[in-house]
């Protein structure tokens, strides 16, 4: 617990950027659901069984067998987290001038595509760009737009198509099996590989079971098997649906590609059977990937996220509808119409949630996806100004979540008093992690 006075000081010292706060000064931490979950007794037990051999550890083969059982990919490269898998994949697959379509790139995915000189293009369905629009699979890719983009660019300049499940930057919204099939069919026509950004695959599979015809009687594992059978490979941040605090992998079926990727893995991550992780990390990941498919777990997980969404909707707070899998996204543009996007309404709301109740959220808007022209200082703004309340897995109880809705209710009641911010310092790319802000003097 901290007092409001203390929080004012901490926030100012952090340049109004919640990433720069000390975690011990945060009461309820909804910054991310990544690596912040609680591991189970079984995972801790598995950690004790870690085989720390440099090469060919038993723990690696355990993980490979679990990944084969769920995802069905032949070649598995462990990485320390998702972005390491992304960097390796795009470094091998892309060259400057290429175009990578995705339903919506996550920030690190976009940055890794752009880092190798390729262009990252987001192609969500129109509903995916409209926070209030309801659609059971709002994370879907716009297949007509995909086809048009490939025609326009030329298939030879599209090294792969990616689907992010669930669509994090688009509101944690699921992608339907039908959409995966449709995207696959287009990829087949143009002979382009399809990769899945699989971070929240189990949550996506649960939504398919709940919402898509023909899946109500299938297990999450069966749905996952089918989904990944349409893909050539995946990148995975196991910090989400791997239920671990660190870990990830890159997997696929192409032997030549896997060999090239291994070379890069050895260069920066480690030998291919540990990839920058300890044997015990591989064990914990193997157990987590199985646990996350538990029906009881997934039912509770998705229901508890929806619970927060429903409370906020009752209060009148505009959120991305319907609630997604891992987080609730507040529409800061609608909540704070008096703050123009150039004055970072999302960032201002993040600051206010911390001041009011010690809650840490994250902006997914112009601070994250906008940019400042180096010469003119002109700010390019993002399509949406969202504030994400991400829910760590197996951590908070209903009373914590009730506290969060009470604080949001207070902030909502006083929203007209919230003022915009200006960015005082930044270091692109991924500027939002380290940028410093100041209260805007005039708007």
Q: Which residues contribute to the site for ligand F0G (CB under 6 A)?
A: 32, 34, 81-83, 106, 108-109, 164, 168, 197, 199, 237, 239, 248
CB nearer ligand F0G, residue 199 or residue 265: 199
19, 82, 248, 394 from 239: Cα distances, Å: 18, 8, 7, 13
Q: Specify the residue, 239 or 342, whose C-beta has the smaller distance to ligand F0G.
A: 239
Q: Distance (Å, rounded) from C-alpha 432 to C-alpha 443? A: 21
Which residue of this chain has its Cβ atom nearest to ligand F0G in the complex?
Answer: 82
Nearer CB in complex with ligand F0G: 265/343: 265
> How many degrees, rounded to 5, is the angle at CA 86 between CA 247 and CA 66?
45
Residue 204: name the closest of 230, 229, 241 by CA.
241
Q: Which of 186, 272, 202 is nearest to 242 (CA)?
A: 202
Smallest separation (angstroms) from ligand F0G to the CB of 217: 29
Rounded to a whole number of angstroms, the minimum distance from the CB of residue 304 to ligand F0G is 18
Per the CB < 8 A criterion, the answer to whether 432 and 111 are in contact is no
* Closest CB to ligand F0G among residues 105, 342: 105
**Nearest alpha carbon to residue 21 among 388, 436, 439:** 436
What are the Cα distances from residue 442, in Å, to 347, 422, 437? 16, 10, 14
162 or 257: whose CB is closer to ligand F0G? 162
Closest CA to 246 of 81, 109, 87, 83: 81
Q: Are 335 and 318 in contact (CB under 8 A)?
A: yes
For the bound state, the minimum distance from the C-beta of residue 389 to ligand F0G, rounded and expressed in Å, comes to 12
Cβ of residue 259: shortest distance to ligand F0G, in angstroms?
23
What minimum distance in Å lies between the beta carbon of 164 and ligand F0G? 5
Min dist. Cβ of residue 323 to ligand F0G (A): 16
- Comparing CB distances to ligand F0G, the nearer of 112 and 176 is 112
For ligand F0G, the closer of residues 250 and 343 by Cβ is: 250
Q: How far is the CB of 191 from ligand F0G (least distance, A)?
A: 25
The distance in angstroms from the start CA to the end CA of the chain is: 33
For residue 77, the SS3 value is strand
């Amino acid at each position: 617990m901290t007092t409001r006075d203390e929080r004012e000081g901490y926030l100012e010292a952090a340049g109004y950027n919640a990433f720069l706060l000390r975690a011990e000064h945060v009461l309820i931490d909804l910054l991310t659901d990544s690596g912040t979950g609680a591991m189970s007794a079984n995972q801790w037990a598995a950690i004790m069984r870690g085989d720390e051999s440099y090469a060919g550890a038993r723990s690696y083969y355990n993980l490979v067998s679990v990944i084969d059982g769920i995802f069905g990919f032949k070649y598995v490269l462990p990485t320390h987290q998702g972005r390491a898998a992304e960097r390796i994949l795009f470094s091998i697959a892309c060259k400057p001038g290429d175009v990578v379509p995705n339903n919506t790139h996550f920030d690190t995915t976009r940055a890794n595509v752009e880092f190798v000189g390729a262009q990252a293009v987001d192609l969500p369905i129109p509903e995916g760009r409209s926070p209030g629009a309801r659609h059971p699979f709002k994370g879907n890719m716009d297949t007509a737009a995909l086809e048009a983009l490939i025609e326009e660019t030329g298939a030879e300049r599209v090294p792969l198509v990616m689907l992010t499940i669930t669509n994090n930057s688009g509101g944690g919204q699921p992608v339907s099996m039908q959409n995966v099939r449709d995207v696959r069919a287009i990829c087949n026509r143009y002979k382009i590989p399809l990769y899945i950004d699989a971070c929240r695959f189990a949550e996506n599979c649960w939504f398919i079971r709940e919402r898509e015809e023909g899946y109500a009687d299938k297990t999450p594992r069966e749905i996952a098997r089918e989904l990944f059978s349409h893909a050539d490979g995946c990148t995975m941040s196991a910090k989400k649906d791997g239920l671990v605090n660190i870990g990830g992998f890159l997997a696929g079926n192409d032997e030549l590609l896997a060999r090239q990727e291994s070379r890069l893995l050895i260069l920066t991550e480690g030998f291919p059977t540990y990839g920058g992780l300890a044997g015990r990390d591989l064990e914990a990941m193997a157990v987590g990937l199985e646990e996350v498919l538990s029906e009881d777990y997934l039912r509770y997980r998705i229901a508890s996220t929806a619970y927060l969404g429903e409370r906020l909707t009752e209060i009148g707070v505009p959120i991305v509808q319907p609630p997604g899998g891992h987080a609730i996204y507040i529409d800061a543009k609608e909540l704070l119409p008096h703050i123009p996007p150039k004055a970072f309404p999302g960032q201002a709301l993040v600051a206010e949630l911390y001041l009011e109740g010690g809650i840490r959220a994250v902006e997914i808007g112009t601070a994250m996806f906008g940019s400042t022209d180096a010469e003119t200082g002109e700010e390019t703004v993002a399509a949406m100004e969202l504030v994400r309340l991400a829910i760590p897995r197996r951590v908070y109880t209903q009373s914590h979540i009730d506290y969060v809705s009470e604080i949001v209710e207070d902030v909502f009641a006083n929203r007209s008093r919230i003022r915009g911010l200006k960015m005082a310092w930044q270091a692109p790319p991924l500027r939002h992690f380290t940028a410093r802000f100041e209260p805007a003097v005039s708007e």
